[in-house]
Amino acid sequence: MMKKIRFLLLMGMIAPLFVEGQDTRPDTLVINGITVIRDNRPPKNEPKKGFFKNINSRRTLKKITTEWGMVDIGMSSFVDRTDYPGVAAQAYAPGSNNQWFETKGFKSRNINLWVVTQRYSLVHHVLNLQYGVGLELNNYFYTQPVRYDPNPPATQDPPVVSIDARAQSVPPERIYKKDKLAADYVTVPLMLNFNFTPDRIYPFELSAGVSIGYLYASRNKTITSDEGKQKAKDAFGLKPWKLSYVGDLTLGVVTFYGSYAFKGMYKRGLDMTPYTFGIRLRPGDLFNKIENR
């Protein structure tokens, strides 16, 4: 009798070796008239979590929300309404025409570094006041070899911009690899935000308002075949203050932004109204959408 029991226990231990690995049907063995049944079905597991939270996920609403370290990456350009044959334009840039200040579209960049932004709920988190502070960096890359003079003559309305004749000679005596004007501002935006899905972590929202910027740095940077890298630092007749219409649109995880200045950015000579557009990166908001594991 003991031998029979030991035999049955041994067969119960080795029975799984005779079963195909992926078969989820119960295993049945008949040994000396005794039926042995082994359930081969795997245990039920909870569904795996995705990397991002579900699209219907909710968030806790607060009266004031703060966001740090947003970054805008986009394009800088301007609408040129300059009267080039006019006295003012020729005094600022003698001999200039509408081709002098043409820009390289995909190289003329705008980068905004938003140190901090806040949102204050005005009406049930649907209508909010949005404000912040950051740095607005604009780079205008020119197709023509224009040069800005940081030390113009001490006369009334002196010339500031000229074309580099050495780069236009045949053959050219100087080759330009880079020619850009950089204009950097400390900027404070003030907007009304309309959040149509206030409790969703993937919102649909629209913001619009104005911003005020102060020009804290500007420079003309060139890289040429004979001079190498050169930087001329000066205001170059740019206005110290910049007022702009600003707005942004958020669709789930993507935020688009844009701005358009009230007036031209030069004090005299040139009538160029700057604008920007691009995509906003929000590290803090993206982190909140990642599923906790």
Confidence of residue 20 (pLDDT cuts 50, 70, 90): very low
Residue 72 neighbours by CB distance under 10 Å: 24
**Is residue 98 a contact partner of residue 142, using CB atoms and an 8 Å limit?**
no
Q: What is the mean pLDDT of the chain?
A: 87
The CA distance from 155 to 143, in Å, is 29
The answer to whether the pTM exceeds 0.85 is no
Per-residue burial over 81-96, b if 16 or more Cβ lie within 10 Å, else e, is ebebeeebbebbbeeb
DSSP helix/strand/coil, 265: coil
Q: pLDDT for 101-137, tens place per residue?
A: 999 988 999 999 999 999 999 999 999 999 999 999 9
237 Cβ contact partners less than 8 Å away, ≥ 6 residues apart = 92, 160, 266, 267, 268, 269
Residue 258 neighbours by CB distance under 10 Å: 19
236: left (phi over 0), alpha (psi -120 to 50) or beta: left
**Is residue 291 a contact partner of residue 62, using CB atoms and an 8 Å limit?**
no
Tokens of 194: 């309309």
Question: For the chain, what's the residue count?
Answer: 293
Q: pLDDT for 194-251, tens place per residue?
A: 999 998 888 899 999 999 999 999 999 999 999 999 999 999 999 999 999 999 999 9
Q: Quick one: average pLDDT of 185-199?
A: 96
SS (H, E, C) 148-187: ECCCCCCCCCCCCEEECHHHHCCCCCCCEEEEEEEEEEEE
CA distances from 259 to 32, 76, 154, 280 (A): 87, 10, 35, 13
Tokens of 190: 């003030």
In eight-state DSSP terms, residue 242 is: E
DSSP helix/strand/coil, 255: strand
H/E element, 21? none
